[in-house]
Amino acid sequence: MNLKELRVAQELLKDIAIFKKYQPGDKLPSERDLAKMFGVSRTVVREALIALRYLGVIERYISSGSYVKEIGPYKSLQRKLDNLLGLGKDPLEAWQAREVLEPGIARLAAREATFMDIQQLRKAVGEMEAAVIAGAISNFYSTDRDLHYAILQATHNEYLLRLISPLINCVVHPIWWEIKSESINGADEPFRLSLSLHMRIVQAIEAHDEDAAYAQMQMHFSVLGQYLIDKKEVEKWQRIK
């Protein structure tokens, strides 16, 4: 996040949390209108809104825009906003690490998963489906993280849990997902594709088919990599670090 984006985010946060210009449930002006108000580009406004969504100040929907949520104390939110200047790790390295490790995790989950694990996986993929249908970006990336964590838990391996959990949280970072969602201009195809791929992984684990679970997780990373990892997106991430 650069200083222009931080300034816009700070001003919007004040309008919401201090001056009460926008109440919970209110829709914010469009990116175009906000850009005119602050004298900046739409790209600057977009990434400022991404930061506010990460803080839980607003909710963003693919088709209808940004809406104010119930929020906490201003000072706490401001501290978190300031911390965004140093946020994040290189998503390319995190994605590569997961691409190497998670097919093996899926294989082990298929071997070790209990009835309760399967129920948790079904619940997680159901929540992902609901997020896709609703077009709720924030819910989608949180359900993606939750599903991968449920697969990790199904291994019943404490070493893997300690080692891999931070990696899952790093790469499925709200700001990264928001940036990518903007780059595909609101298209829902990648989200529906992701849902389909995750369903196949869960089906393989449920069938205790270790080879299929491994192969489906490999396919997941191979196919979704074209949407989530490319040079422009990595460069964009670096600009907000």
pLDDT at residue number 86: 45
Closest by Cα among 149, 173, 160 to 89: 173
DSSP 187: -
* Amino acid letter, 80: K
User: Coil, helix or strand for 76?
Assistant: helix
Distance (Å) of CA 6 to CA 12, 40, 65, 161? 10, 12, 20, 35
* Amino acid letter, 1: M
pLDDT at residue number 187: 56
pTM score, two decimals? 0.59
Structural domains of the chain in order of their starting residue, each with its CATH number? 3-86 (1.10.10.10), 91-240 (1.20.120.530)
**Residues 205, 213 contacting (CB under 8 angstroms):** yes
User: Coil, helix or strand for 169?
Assistant: helix
Question: By 3-state DSSP, what share of the chain in percent is helix, strand and coil, each rounded to 5?
Answer: 75, 5, 20
Per-block average pLDDT, block size 10, for the chain (241 residues)? 69 87 93 91 82 84 84 76 53 79 98 96 94 78 86 93 77 54 60 91 98 96 72 45 41
**Total residue count of the chain as it appears in this document:** 241
* β-bridge partners, 136: 61
Spatial distance between the Cα atoms of 1 and 9, rounded to a whole number of angstroms: 10
**Residues 221, 197 contacting (CB under 8 angstroms):** no
pLDDT at residue number 237: 41
Q: Which helix (H) or strand (E) holds 65?
A: strand 65-68
pLDDT at residue number 83: 57
pLDDT at residue number 186: 54
pLDDT at residue number 231: 44
